[in-house]
Structures are given as C-alpha cells and as structure tokens.
C-alpha cells in the first residue's frame, strides 16, 4: 500500500485548506509518520547492541527533516560537501556522520576531516594514500562482485563502480593499519528499493563473515558493519511491504550467533533513506489543463523538476484525485508536466476518475529521492516543501525557487583571459 493510511487521514481532510494557503505545487511531509517509522526501526533492532541508523541525507536533504532524525539519535550518511555542511549545521558532529563518497576529491577529504571529522568510508584502495590526515577510525565500502547478484535498481555488482573488490579486502585493512588506523568498520550497499528481506539478511551475513575473515588474517575486531540502505517500500497498491520484523529477527539472530561463536560482535549500522521518509511525503499539484489528441492528457502545475523518478526509472507513483477517492477510475490519462521532454509524465495510461481543471492531485511516496532529485532543466523551478507537524500545524520548510535563484550564477566578477599573443 503506498502512502500510509494514517498520513492520508491526517492530510486529506485538510488538503484543500493547505493548498489554498500555500498554493500548489508542494511536497508535504508527515512528521508523525517519520517519527513512527524511526521508532519502529530502533525497536526492531533493539536486540543488537549499538544499532544505529545513519539517515541517507540525499533522500530528503532538508534541515528540518534532518533535525527529526537527530532527535531520534540517528546519524547521517553524507556523500558530498553540501550534505556534510547541512548535517553539521543541524548539530551533527564526529561519528554521527558517515562520509560515503566515491571518486573522492582532495577537497572532499578536507571537508570530511573538518569540524571534528566524521567516519570516513573509503571507496577504493587507491584512496588510502590520498587521505591527508589519516583517521584512527576507518571504514571501507565492499563490492562483492560476482559473489552477489545485485537487485534490480543497483544491478550487477560486477558492473557497479563502488567499493573495493573481494580480493583487495585484506590488503586494504592491512594498509590502513600501516597508515595508523586502529578502529575499523565495514560497509556495503548492494540493494536499492529491495522489498525481499532475505536479500538484506544475506547482506548482513556476508559482512559479518567478511569481518571474521579479516579478523582471522589481521587480528582486527571490527567496531561496526554498515549494511547500507536500500530497504524497499511499496509504490504500487498491489506491492507487498518489506517484512521488517522477520528481517530484524534474522539479523539479530546472526549477530547473537556470531557473538557466541567468536566472543564478540560488531555493532550494526544502516543508512536507509527511502525507508525512513519515502512513504511520508506526497507531491500535491493542481490539474490546470486537459487535452484530447491520440491520448487524453491531464496537465498539472508541476513537472519533473519536482519528481524525476517516473522519467528516470519509469517508476510508478500512485495518484489520488482529492475528493474523488471513491469515484470509479473510468478514464485513462497520461498525467504530464510542462517541460519540453516527452518523458515529463507522472503517470502513463493510468486509470483515474474523470479529472477537471482545478482538481488537486496527490502524487504519493515522494518523501525520498523526490524533491532532492529535481533539476532546473528548461528553466523549470523546484517547488516548496511543507511539514505537517504532529500537532496538526503546517510549516513551510523550504520556499519555492524563484527566477532570481535561477539567474544567480550569472552574477559574478568578470574574468576573461586574453587571446594568445596579445
């Protein structure tokens, strides 16, 4: 089931009033839903000492949302300097931040080390020599290659640019020790939007076994394994939800078994983005045009600058027409934006109730990789973001982009190099 029923019950009775106050389009996020999901995640893994979620900032990089994560004592998974800056701005420090970059630059290493540092997660063995001030705590991202078949979105690990290869693992940690590392973690990210919990259970097993291998070889007791993000959510009404309880039970059992066998178990970290916020956001947009040519089109007042997933991956996002939830879906529409790309479609050949100009459409499950992925191509600007707070109030947490924002990078000091020989 897309978008939680609780969120729907909180939002739908007030949606016209909210749309009238703020104007469409906007993403609106459900504070109560995010907090409940965070509490459930902690509860599920309470049996693993030191369990911690590092929220994947890229999923919904808004400081107000990150502050909710901080309140739940979550850390932050960052992979760029702006993400580091935003996480630190809301007060995250040191080991509350994991920096999981790839193709890392010197500038990024410097930013990672600034302001009390963070957990550095190295993507390649060649980067060992490039870390300016080698930290005491180091982590590597592992790419299992042919040992795992990737899931649908991430694909085959052999073709993935991330991480160190299996046969590099021992030398990577040995070299890290030579550079002065004394504390160690191990990370992987082999799934995306995976709703089969056995895949993620196998990931945890794979990492635990690998730490044992390194320990046997180098005498390293790992402080943590980070199983990555990639927990899937149901976007389609017929999709099953990931079985969090079974997943947590099985992974907890693995940690207990590991501890019984080896007298010690690492902590477990996770860096979910989609799981934490995906179902707790929707894009609210108004139907402004309809046209009938070879197909019937509903034009709305937002476009792929607000939500790229349908255009990028052909992703399904469920749509409700406000006030017509119980009207039979007798029409077949393409729901489109106004960008000059034919893949600027929120829905293709979707069965929906008859839609009229002025109807509010709720495009669901935009709380992760929604606003964040938007771009400005074609001069299409990004929308505002709202937070539906637990007490029922609504807060503007990002204003919409303006033409002035769009033109801002054209304001700069002139800088021209003379032609050669002048």
Single residue of 18, 19, 44, 56 touching ligand PLP by CB under 6 A = 56
Interface with ligand PLP includes 150 (CB under 6 A)? no
- Known catalytic residues? 340
Choose between 38 and 353: whose C-beta lies nearer to ligand PLP: 38
CA atoms of 117 and 124, how far apart (whole Å): 19
Find the part of the chain contacting ligand PLP (CB under 6 A) among 2-10, 223-231, 246-254, 291-299: 223-231
61-80: contacts with ligand PLP (CB under 6 A): 77
227-246: contacts with ligand PLP (CB under 6 A): 228-231
Single residue of 8, 10, 52, 58 touching ligand PLP by CB under 6 A = 58
CA atoms of 114 and 110, how far apart (whole Å): 6
Choose between 123 and 385: whose C-beta lies nearer to ligand PLP: 123
Interface with ligand PLP includes 279 (CB under 6 A)? no
Residue 44: φ, ψ to 5°: -60, -35
Report which of 43, 111, 39 is spatially closest to residue 79, judged by C-alpha positions: 111
290-349: contacts with ligand PLP (CB under 6 A): none
Interface with ligand PLP includes 365 (CB under 6 A)? no
Report which of 337, 334, 335 is spatially closest to residue 380, judged by C-alpha positions: 337
Rounded least distance, CB 230 to ligand PLP, Å = 5
Rounded least distance, CB 296 to ligand PLP, Å = 34
Find the part of the chain contacting ligand PLP (CB under 6 A) among 61-69, 185-193, 210-218, 339-347: 185-193
Report which of 357, 331, 335 is spatially closest to residue 344, judged by C-alpha positions: 335
Rounded least distance, CB 255 to ligand PLP, Å = 20
Choose between 24 and 104: whose C-beta lies nearer to ligand PLP: 104
Pairing of strands 281-292, 26-30: antiparallel
Rounded least distance, CB 229 to ligand PLP, Å = 3
Neighbours of 221 (CB within 10 A): 14
Single residue of 8, 274, 309, 350 touching ligand PLP by CB under 6 A = 274
Q: Is 160 exposed, middle or buried (0-12, 13-18, 19+ CB in 10 A)?
A: middle
Neighbours of 32 (CB within 10 A): 17
Neighbours of 422 (CB within 10 A): 4
194: which DSSP letter? B
Interface with ligand PLP includes 189 (CB under 6 A)? yes
Rounded least distance, CB 242 to ligand PLP, Å = 11
The distance of Cα 208 from the centroid of its chain, to the nearest Å, equals: 24
Find the part of the chain contacting ligand PLP (CB under 6 A) among 53-61, 103-111, 217-225, 334-342: 53-61
H or E element at residue 28: strand 26-30
- Give the count of residues interacting with ligand PLP (CB under 6 A): 18
Q: Which residue has the tokens 């995306």?
A: 192
Single residue of 59, 220, 282, 363 touching ligand PLP by CB under 6 A = 59
Contact yes or no for 317/347 (Cβ under 8 A): yes
User: Which residues, other chains included, contact 295 with Cβ-Cβ below 8 Å and sequence gap of 6+?
Assistant: 332, 333, 334, 349
Report which of 160, 153, 159, 281 is spatially closest to residue 229, judged by C-alpha positions: 153
Rounded least distance, CB 42 to ligand PLP, Å = 16
Interface with ligand PLP includes 272 (CB under 6 A)? yes
Tokens of 257: 């078994």
User: By the criterion CB under 6 A, which residues form the site for ligand PLP?
Assistant: 56, 58-59, 77, 100, 189, 192-193, 228-231, 271-275, 368
């Amino acid at each position: 089931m897309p978008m939680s029923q609780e969120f729907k019950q909180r939002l739908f009775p007030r949606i016209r009033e909210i749309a009238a106050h703020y104007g469409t389009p906007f993403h609106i996020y459900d504070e109560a839903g995010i907090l409940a999901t965070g509490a459930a995640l902690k509860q599920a893994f309470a049996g693993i000492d030191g369990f911690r979620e590092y929220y994947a900032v890229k999923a919904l990089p808004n400081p107000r949302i990150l502050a909710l994560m901080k309140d739940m004592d979550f850390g932050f998974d960052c992979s760029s300097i702006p993400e580091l800056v935003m996480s630190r701005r809301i007060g995250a420090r040191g080991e509350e931040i994991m920096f999981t970059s790839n193709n890392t630059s010197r500038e990024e290493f410097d930013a990672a080390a600034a302001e009390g540092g963070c957990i550095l997660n190295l993507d390649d063995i060649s980067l060992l020599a490039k870390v300016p001030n080698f930290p005491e705590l180091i982590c590597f991202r592992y790419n299992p290659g042919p040992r795992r078949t990737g899931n649908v979105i991430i694909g085959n690990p052999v073709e993935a640019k991330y991480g160190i290869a299996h046969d590099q693992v021992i030398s990577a940690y040995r070299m890290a020790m030579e550079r002065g590392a004394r504390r160690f973690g191990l990370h992987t990210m082999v799934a995306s939007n995976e709703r089969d919990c056995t895949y993620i259970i196998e990931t945890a097993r794979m990492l635990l076994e690998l730490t044992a291998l390194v320990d046997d070889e180098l005498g390293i007791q790992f402080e943590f394994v980070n199983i990555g993000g990639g927990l899937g959510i149901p976007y389609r009404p017929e999709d099953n939800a990931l079985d969090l309880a079974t997943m947590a039970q099985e992974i907890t059992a693995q940690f207990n078994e590991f501890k019984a066998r080896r007298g010690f178990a690492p902590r477990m970290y996770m860096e979910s983005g989609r799981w934490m916020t995906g179902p707790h956001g929707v894009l609210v947009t108004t139907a402004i045009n309809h046209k009938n040519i070879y197909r019937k089109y509903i034009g709305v007042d937002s476009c792929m600058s607000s939500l790229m997933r349908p255009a990028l991956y052909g992703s399904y996002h469920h749509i409700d027409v406000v006030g017509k939830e119980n009207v039979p879906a007798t029409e077949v529409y393409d729901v489109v934006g106004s960008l000059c790309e034919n893949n600027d479609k929120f829905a293709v050949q979707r069965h929906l109730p008859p839609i009229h100009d002025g109807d509010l459409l709720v495009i669901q499950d935009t709380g992760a990789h929604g606003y964040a992925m938007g771009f400005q191509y074609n001069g299409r600007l990004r929308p505002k973001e709202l937070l539906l707070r637990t007490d029922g109030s609504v807060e503007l947490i990002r204003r919409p982009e303006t033409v002035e924002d769009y033109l801002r990078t054209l304001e700069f000091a002139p800088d021209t190099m003379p032609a050669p020989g002048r």
